[in-house]
Amino acid sequence: MIQYNMKLSQIAKDYDIKITNDINISGLNDLINAKETEITFLHDIKYKEQLKQTKASAVFVTKEFSNLCPKTSVPIVCENPYIAMAKTTKLFSKPLYKTTGAKPNIDKTTKLKENTALGFDTTIGKGSVIFDGVFIGDDVFIGNNCIIYPNVSIYSGTTIGDDCIIHAGTVIGSDGFGFANDGGKYIKIHHNGVVKIANDVEIGSNTSIDKAVFGATIIENGVRIDNLVHIAHNCHIGKGVIITGQCGFAGSSKLGDYVVIGAQSGVSGHLSIAPYTTISARSGVTKTIKNSHKQYTGFPIMEHKIWLKIQSKIQKLLPKDKR
């Protein structure tokens, strides 16, 4: 992955702070995952405990919470840290494509059909088949025995493991839907992360998996994803998860291992679903699910057995000829 270094003074030039130790900053990250060479931000009071633990070298923060920054982190005091973060993502955004680099490294047993576009520094393993019209960007890694069907687009920096199948029209690694509202003007949040897909994953046609704002959107081993599914930035889909058609997952959703999601269901952002949970079709997950091995139904969701009782009572309220 390309790394960019920038002096902290360059980033903080629009803010009234004095930089005594002008360190190099390599990128942005969230409070928990930020490294010593990165900058982070606090935009919500509920994350203030994470602020106290961050390893970031600098933090965009309001004056109210600046005293919570660790001694190792420089507080960059601003009115709206979320807007500051959004503007800073542009400073670390990668070029749209490389103009130089190594030619694609493709194993001799892999078959490429016509009209396939390959970027620099890309690797494809043994025994894979890449069909017509596939676009594969720079710095992409595709493992062994994969099948990529026609007109799939795989953006730069994506990693795909062994034995994966990706059906026609799917897009992997596009920008997530991220904008910060600055007084009615929408500031684009540049998505500088990647998508990482593990082994034995099958993805249906016309599905979109967005790359992370920072870090990675992750699909674990053995996942099965149906057609017309949207997985937003920074989601983490656990092992053996089944996602059926027309489902949508907002940013930073986390699905535990072997979760089953019924068709046309939606999951709100920054929520977790416990392993071995079943979500019935057309359900809306609006809160974190902590207990495993349960089924949920409805919008908003409730335990399936409670939903059945409610439906039964509603039926009894109707005249017999209307039931």
Give the pLDDT of residue 20: 77
Task: Identify any residues that bridge with 217 across adjacent strands, giving them in sequence order.
Answer: 195
- 36: pLDDT strictly greater than 50: yes
- 3: pLDDT strictly greater than 70: no
- What average pLDDT does this structure show over 249-272? 97
Q: What are phi and psi of 67, to 5 degrees?
A: -75, -10
Region of 231 on the Ramachandran plot (φ > 0 left; ψ -120 to 50 alpha; else beta): beta
CA distances to 11, 266, 291, 307 from 279, in Å: 44, 10, 13, 12
Q: What is the mean pLDDT of the chain?
A: 94
Domain 6-91: homologous superfamily in CATH? MurE/MurF, N-terminal domain (3.40.1390.10)
Domain 105-306: homologous superfamily in CATH? Hexapeptide repeat proteins (2.160.10.10)
- 116: pLDDT strictly greater than 60: yes
- 176: pLDDT strictly greater than 80: yes
Domain boundaries, the chain: 6-91, 105-306
Q: Residue 323 — very low, low, confident or very high, per pLDDT cuts 50/70/90?
A: low
Q: What is the SS3 string spanning 210-262?
A: ECCCCCEEEECCCCEECCCCEECCCCEECCCCEECCCCEECCCCEECCCCEEC
- What average pLDDT does this structure show over 86-110? 95
Asked if 167 is an active-site residue, the reply is: no
Q: What is the pTM of this model?
A: 0.93
Q: Residue 94 — very low, low, confident or very high, per pLDDT cuts 50/70/90?
A: confident
- 2: pLDDT strictly greater than 80: no
Give the pLDDT of residue 4: 64
Q: Is 184 helix (H, G, I), strand (E, B) or coil?
A: coil
Over the stretch 129-175, which tens digit does the pLDDT of each residue have? 999 999 999 999 999 999 999 999 999 999 999 999 999 999 999 99
- Tokens 């900058």 — which residue? 39
- 298: pLDDT strictly greater than 70: yes
Give the pLDDT of residue 321: 73
- What average pLDDT does this structure show over 238-267? 98
- 315: pLDDT strictly greater than 50: yes
Over the stretch 13-35, which tens digit does the pLDDT of each residue have? 888 777 877 889 999 999 999 99
Q: Which residues, in sequence order, are CB contacts of 310 under 8 Å at separation 6+?
A: 302
Least confident of 9-23, 60-74, 118-132, 142-156: 9-23
Q: What is the percent of the chain with per-residue pLDDT over 70, rounded to a whole number? A: 98
Q: What is the percent of the chain with per-residue pLDDT over 90, rounded to a whole number? A: 87
Give the pLDDT of residue 1: 38
Q: Residues 167, 190, 233, 236: which is the catalytic one?
A: 233
- What average pLDDT does this structure show over 223-245? 98
Q: Which residues, in sequence order, are CB contacts of 32 under 8 Å at separation 6+?
A: 50, 53, 54
Q: Which residue has the higher pLDDT, 226 or 11?
A: 226
